[in-house]
Amino acid sequence: MAFDILRRVAAEDAYAADLLFAELDTGIKKADASLATELTLGVLRWQRLLDFLLERYLKRGCEQLDLEVLLALRLGLYQLRYLDRVPQHAAIDESVELVKRARKSSATGMVNAVLRRATADARIGGDELGKLVPAGNSPEERLGILYSHPTWLVERWVGFFGRERAKALLEANNRPATLTCAVLEEGGSERVAESLRKSGFEVTPGRWLRGTLQISGGNPAASEAYRAGQINFQDEASQMVAHLVDARDSQTILDACAAPGGKTLILARGVGPRGRVVAGDIHEHRLRIIQQQLTRTETENVRLAALDAARPLPFSPGFDRVLVDAPCSGTGTLSRNPEIRWRLKPEDLEVARRCQTAMLRNALAVANKAGRVVYSTCSLEPEENEQVVAEVMTETPEWRVLSSEHAAWTAHLRDAASDEKFFAAGDGFFRTFPPEHGTDGFFAAVLERG
């Protein structure tokens, strides 16, 4: 399963998390589901370092290998290096079998020989691992190899965050992401947690928000709590952004880039049965995903709309709240979506910025006079965050940034009095940073007319 998913990620630009979610909802055993997830995401996270180590035993660069052969080598070396419960001979034999299964039998001898040579120092680490990196490499190139990130991204982050915070970010991106869910029934956390525990899952309270749970020990999408619509999987930072909107009873809200619908569910509960949420997305298949969420959770006060938020919106300026959770580079989610680091290019950020600026501009145009607009991304990059807000604000001086330290959203924190300033700097923007908050990296700006 891991091999097939990795092949689709590489060949079809698919996302590993989506494929795993679909494949693991087929009655697979918990132990097998955990191993498939570990292998798939682990190989993607450590891809650059794995290739660097493999090339010590190859007579050519990894890029010259057939994809199926390279994936089998990565899977074998990952198991040799990072997993304790898989015997070395089993890891090697399975990689050889994968190559045969992929009809690349001519490479079986090479795969077997490379992995057998790699067993001697597969666990090399610390200073010994560092000595393998050529001395002439720049410090950023060195970090990129050892922490398995593109050098250009490391260079950016060292410039923005400083070397120590950047290094902490690289480390956080290589740790498995916490699976957090929002409990959709007010005050139902304990009951839902007990139900999940009875189903064999390990459950602890969320780190920051009331009404959140952290789950491990299998595939909770197969749980009764999920099927019954009691929970929705969503990172705590993503939930915080939805709470920043400050949805209130009977309001009308536009969620302009709504898929996959997690924030929509929170907004719908905020406005109550007398309110209305319009959830938009440009892609019909993503609207179907939202509809599945609405059906599963029996949410009835949401209307779906096929729209391109980068174009003028087909609404009059009557919304009490508008959320633009803009499509972005996703650099705040590299632990959860490790393949992004290998796909993203520097020039993509400027393309995204132009689209995001149009989205925010259009959102402001459909808010009513007392309305509020929240712009957010799961990106750590200034081009997609501060620069977007700054450009649009120069065009619309009647709007101002409202500090994210306002009571409406912090009421959802477990300890609002002490924690609220941890998410906001002096500029009023909301930010989470993976190594410091233990969440995905999000940015948000709350805007209202001054």
| 366-400: pLDDT as tens digits | 999 999 999 999 999 999 999 999 999 999 999 99
Q: Who has greater pLDDT, 325 or 30?
A: 325
Active site residue 378: yes
* pLDDT at residue 95 greater than cutoff 70: yes
* pLDDT at residue 416 greater than cutoff 70: no
H or E element that contains 322? strand 319-325
**Tokens 């994968």 found at:** 98
Which residues pair with residue 444 across a beta bridge?
376, 430
Which residues pair with residue 281 across a beta bridge?
306
Q: What pLDDT band is residue 407 in, cutting at 50, 70 and 90?
A: low
Chain centroid to Cα 367, Å, comes to: 29
Contact (Cβ atoms closer than 8 angstroms) between residue 352 and residue 328: yes
CATH 1.10.940.10 fits 2-130, yes or no: yes
Locate the domains of the chain by residue range.
2-130, 133-174, 180-233, 236-449
Q: CA 3, CA 69: separation in Å to the nearest integer?
A: 10
Determine how β-strand 302-306 pairs with β-strand 276-281: parallel
| 272-287: pLDDT as tens digits | 999 999 999 999 999 9
> What top-level class would CATH report for the domain 180-233?
alpha beta
Tell the burial category of 93 from Cβ atoms under 10 Å away from its Cβ (0-12, 13-18, 19+). Answer: middle
The Cβ of residue 222 has, within 10 Å, a number of other Cβ atoms equal to 17
Ranges 54-63, 129-138, 154-163, 218-227: which has the least confidence: 218-227
CATH 3.30.360.10 fits 236-449, yes or no: no
Report the half-sphere exposure of 17 (CA within 13 A, side-chain side).
14
Distances (CA, A) of 247 to 91, 265, 269: 51, 11, 8
pTM as predicted? 0.94
| 215-233: pLDDT as tens digits | 988 788 888 999 999 999 9
Which residues pair with residue 212 across a beta bridge?
182
* pLDDT at residue 116 greater than cutoff 70: yes
φ, ψ at 331 (rounded to 5°) = -70, -10
Catalytic residue among 181, 257, 328, 378: 378
| 59-81: pLDDT as tens digits | 889 999 999 999 999 999 999 99
* pLDDT at residue 406 greater than cutoff 70: no
